[in-house]
Amino acid sequence: DAGVTQSPTHLIKTRGQHVTLRCSPISGHKSVSWYQQVLGQGPQFIFQYYEKEERGRGNFPDRFSARQFPNYSSELNVNALLLGDSALYLCASSLEPGGYEQYFGPGTRLTVT
Amino acid sequence: GQQVMQIPQYQHVQEGEDFTTYCNSSTTLSNIQWYKQRPGGHPVFLIQLVKSGEVKKQKRLTFQFGEAKKNSSLHITATQTTDVGTYFCAGDGSGNTGKLIFGQGTTLQVKP
């Protein structure tokens, strides 16, 4: 079975631009979570989606948004990019939102210049 | 808000020595998960602990969950060079929501 896939792998954007990151969960997994990992730190929770509904949101500004599609894939959107948004963005899927292990994708490395 | 602290930040050991990383949460957890991230890689799930006082073993790795469900530890016996990486604990709050709060991680270096 394929694991969690994310695209693109790397991305370079300019301040003020917009970015869309994509994630496909493991087949059969209905919950997708997004995390931001800054170099040298642990992943920080951004969003959780389950059955196309937002189940949780971390402490991130409204410039960050996400959605989940009927096939359980997900998109993370970030508007008005700042230098501080440069990070590894990780998508994780699980069978259901709580109580299950999360399987992480390889991540998208975003660099904002 | 909920915080998860992990120590030490770095650990250098000689191959064959033991290694332990500790994790403490500011609030009671429904469960705690441990992940390993190799340099340039992504977090890989190791184990989940749910019950108070739970101890689980995976070969040379021993995981413990505290009686109060606020702390946890990972112990590696006789480290090998393949153990190199950063080990993260991730706590799930009392609502068992799956919104994981990660510790800062402990980076393990093993000298052959």
Q: What is the pLDDT of residues B17-44, one digit of tens each?
A: 999 999 999 999 999 999 999 999 999 9
Distance separating alpha carbons of residues A46 and A38, to the nearest angstrom: 13
pLDDT-derived band of residue B98, with 50, 70 and 90 as boundaries? confident
Q: Stretch B39-65: mean pLDDT, rounded?
A: 97
What is the per-residue pLDDT for A1?
59
Question: Residues with Cβ < 8 Å from B42, sequence gap 6 or more?
Answer: A88, A90, A104, A105, A106, A107
Answer yes or no: are the C-beta atoms of B65 and B51 closer than 8 Å. Answer: yes
The whole-number mean pLDDT for each consecutive block of 10 residues of chain A, a chain of 113 residues, reads 91 98 96 96 95 92 97 97 98 88 96 98
Would the CB atoms of B97 and A48 count as touching at under 8 Å?
yes
Burial class (CB in 10 A: 0-12, 13-18, 19+), A83: exposed
> Is B90 in contact with A105 (Cβ distance < 8 A)?
no
Cβ distance A107 to B44 less than 8 Å, yes or no, reads: no
Please count the residue pairs, one from chain A and one from chain B, whose beta carbons lie less than 8 angstroms apart: 73
